[in-house]
Structure 1
């Protein structure tokens, strides 16, 4: 069996809802299913106090499983809970500022690149990764075609890794892997899976092990 490092790996986006303890249990269950590169924690509609409480509960769970814990949007919360990284939700300027301020102490990446020009502007900041799609963009079973196209173009052109948002179906992970993207982000496909999140993570890893294209060393 090959190492996950030489093919597309899974990134989990924590879903909305539930209290901190419940969310920590759900995430912990998912991470028992197999390889997860990182976990992104969006703020959604939580106020700053509730978000910090949630992050404080979830970050250690992700880290204990060997996944990088990335807090979306709030650098202060990321620092207070000792997260591994910051997912910037703003524009290219915001991403550049975050890279300058927090890298390399923190992993710093971002998204909001809906077309090539913006993606290249964001790439100029030398982030650790670029994210194609919206954190809550898994509204259909398959990934958005535009995100797949951007992921494929970026992977061929640029050395900075990219994460492409998948769909609400587990099969969308392979569609992303086939673009050459280093990472596929999933949320509903894992956390709403009928057999449970751990089974979903195990199934995704099995499919990626078997079918995902390999990166050249």
Structure 2
């Protein structure tokens, strides 16, 4: 079995669950399935107080499993919850400010770059990673073809790692790996069946071990 770092790795996006105890249990169970590089926690429709409680429940669970906990959007919540990083989905200005303020103390990445020009503008900010797609963009079985095409172009010429949002089928991670992207993000593909989440992660990692292209050292 290969070391995970030489191929595309999984990133999880937590599902929309407002109860911190239930969310922590579901995410902890999922992470028993094997290698996950990081877990992104979106705010969804939660108010700031509820999001704070959710983040404080999830961050230690994610970190104990050996993954990086990334809070989407709110740097105060990320700080109070002692998260590893910040995922920025907004425009260039907040992105640049977050990088200036929190790097290298926190991982800062994100994007939702819809075209090459936007992606290069984000790249000029020197984030820790760029994200192609939306955190809740897994509406079809496969990853969006546009995001795969952007990742293939990006990975061939830019050293900054990229994460691509996958689809509702866990096997969409393989198409992402074949694009050259360093990370495949899964949400509903893992969490739509919470009881099977760990098994799905295990199976997807096995698929990537067997079929994903290896990065050149």
For 2:82 and 2:173, the matched residues in 1 are separated by 29
Structure-2 residue corresponding to 1:27: 27
Normalising by structure 1, we get a TM-score of 0.98
For 2:84 and 2:57, the matched residues in 1 are separated by 14
Shift of 1:44: 0.2
Question: Structure 1 150/60 Cα, relative in aligned 2: closer, same or farther at 3 Å?
Answer: same
Structure 1 stretches of 5 or more lacking a match?
none
Q: Is the 8 A contact 2:26 2:194 kept in 1?
A: no
Structure-1 residue corresponding to 2:207: 207
For 1:195 and 1:106, the matched residues in 2 are separated by 32
Structure-2 residue corresponding to 1:150: 150
Q: Is the 8 A contact 2:30 2:194 kept in 1?
A: no
Question: Structure 1 23/145 Cα, relative in aligned 2: closer, same or farther at 3 Å?
Answer: same
For each residue in 1:142-182, what CA deviation from the matched residue of structure 2 results, as whole angstroms up to 9, or x when unmatched?
Answer: 01000000011000010000000000001101010000000
Structure 2 stretches of 5 or more lacking a match?
none
Structure-2 residue corresponding to 1:185: 185
Provide runs of 4+ in structure 1 moved above 3 Å. none
Q: Is the 8 A contact 2:23 2:58 kept in 1?
A: yes
RMSD: 0.9
For 2:86 and 2:171, the matched residues in 1 are separated by 28
Count of aligned residue pairs for this structure pair: 217
For each residue in 1:7-53, what CA deviation from the matched residue of structure 2 results, as whole angstroms up to 9, or x when unmatched?
Answer: 00000000002400000000000000000000000000000000000
Shift of 1:194: 7.5
Structure-2 residue corresponding to 1:162: 162
Match of 2:193, SS?
coil
For 1:197 and 1:69, the matched residues in 2 are separated by 18
Match of 1:70, SS?
strand
For each residue in 1:65-90, what CA deviation from the matched residue of structure 2 results, as whole angstroms up to 9, or x when unmatched?
Answer: 00000000000000000000000111
